[in-house]
């Protein structure tokens, strides 16, 4: 059985200086593209489902697709995670649905309330061998129904709060706002991540796994294709891949990637429609989209440093 929680993954990632890719899934083609790359690269994998994905496809369909992935890839350690659960009830439902990890995002609440909500989720999840990710600070941008702040530099995680938060909440990993942002329009100018904050948090929580949200690089090859074939995405800018690689060596054991998946799929579909305007067979445009996702994910696994690490995370 390849289904695991993230404890061993994060232990090995922290020890060996890499990050595990956490990829959001919304349909079959996206999931197939992800797992083909992961299986080829022999990497550990976290598949994530957001509230938006559940509203789009329903949890029963998404879980069925994920179950096939798990069944067909027994040599790949796979964790399934709720991304941005906003309350205890949502997290409880995903625990009950068989997820091995849940994220409770109460970062918009006052510090003490964030601890209180997180602790409640932790107590329920841990009793069922499910791990919990929490969040401190606030990310910028917009992704599905997750709305961030405008100036990310003013809302980074406070290193002086992290020890108290982890000790009182009991969370297993911590997403720390460090200057990243959701969506394709992450920054208006050259991004500068708060590596000093990441380093200080790592020093205060040695060995504790951190999580990097809003980490898509908004790869120019896909943005250019979208714009070439009728799209309108001016000034789309993401997190430089060298910054992601650097963070992976500083205790960032999980890196979330969603926007780059959407861009890869959309770019290829637009290209097919432009080059073959009479095409109406979904297999003929979703297939190339799936291949683009596979190639992009394969590249990301090298950026994260987790290619070839599947066996040590089992």
Chain centroid to Cα 221, Å, comes to 21
Between strands 142-143 and 146-147, the pairing is antiparallel
Confirm if 235 and 185 have CB atoms less than 8 A apart: yes
Q: Please state, in angstroms and rounded to a whole number, the distance separating the CA atoms of residues 209 and 101.
A: 14
- Residue 140, SS3? strand
- How far, CA to CA in Å, does 226 sit from each of 99, 197, 205, 221, 277? 34, 35, 42, 9, 16
Total length of the chain: 314
Nearest to 51 by CA among 83, 21, 29, 81: 83
Scan for tokens 């964790």, then name that residue: 79
- Residue 41, SS3? helix
- Strand partners for 131: 101
Q: Please state, in angstroms and rounded to a whole number, the distance separating the CA atoms of residues 150 and 301.
A: 30
Q: What angle do CA 203, 47, 269 make, to 5 degrees?
A: 120
Q: Report, in angstroms and rounded to the nearest whole number, the Rg of the chain calculated over CA atoms.
A: 18
Q: 192, exposed or middle or buried, with CB in 10 Å at 0-12, 13-18, 19+?
A: exposed
Residue 7 token pair: 């404890």
- Strand partners for 24: 48
Chain centroid to Cα 214, Å, comes to 8
Known catalytic residue: 83? Answer: yes
- Residue 218, SS3? coil
The active-site residue out of 83, 172, 258, 260 is 83
Catalytic annotation, residues: 83
């Amino acid at each position: 059985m390849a289904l695991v929680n993230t404890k061993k993954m994060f232990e090995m990632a922290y020890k060996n200086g890499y990050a595990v890719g956490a990829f959001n899934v919304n349909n079959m083609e996206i999931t197939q593209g992800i797992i083909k790359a992961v299986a080829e690269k022999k990497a550990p994998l976290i598949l994530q489902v957001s509230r938006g994905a559940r509203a789009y496809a329903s949890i029963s369909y998404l879980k069925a697709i994920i179950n096939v992935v798990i069944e067909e890839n027994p040599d790949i350690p796979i964790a399934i995670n709720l991304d941005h659960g906003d309350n205890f009830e949502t997290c409880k439902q995903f625990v009950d649905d068989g997820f091995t990890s849940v994220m409770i995002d109460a970062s918009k609440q006052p510090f003490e309330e964030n601890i209180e909500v997180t602790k409640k989720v932790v107590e329920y999840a841990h009793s069922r061998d499910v791990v919990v990710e929490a969040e401190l600070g606030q990310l910028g941008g917009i992704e599905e129904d997750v709305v961030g702040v405008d100036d990310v530099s003013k809302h980074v995680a406070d290193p002086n709060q992290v020890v108290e938060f982890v000790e009182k909440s009991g969370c297993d990993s911590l997403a720390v706002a460090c200057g990243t942002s959701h969506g394709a329009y992450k920054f208006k100018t050259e991004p500068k991540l708060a590596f000093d904050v990441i380093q200080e948090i790592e020093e205060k929580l040695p060995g504790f796994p951190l999580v990097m949200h809003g980490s898509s690089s908004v790869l120019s090859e896909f943005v250019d294709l979208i714009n070439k074939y009728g799209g309108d995405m001016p000034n789309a800018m993401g997190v430089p891949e060298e910054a992601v690689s650097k963070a992976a060596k500083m205790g960032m054991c999980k890196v979330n990637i969603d926007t780059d998946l959407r861009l890869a799929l959309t770019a290829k579909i637009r290209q097919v429609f432009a080059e073959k305007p009479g095409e109406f067979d979904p297999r003929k445009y979703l297939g190339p989209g799936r291949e683009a996702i596979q190639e992009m994910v394969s590249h990301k696994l090298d950026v994260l440093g987790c290619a070839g690490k599947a066996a040590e995370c089992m």
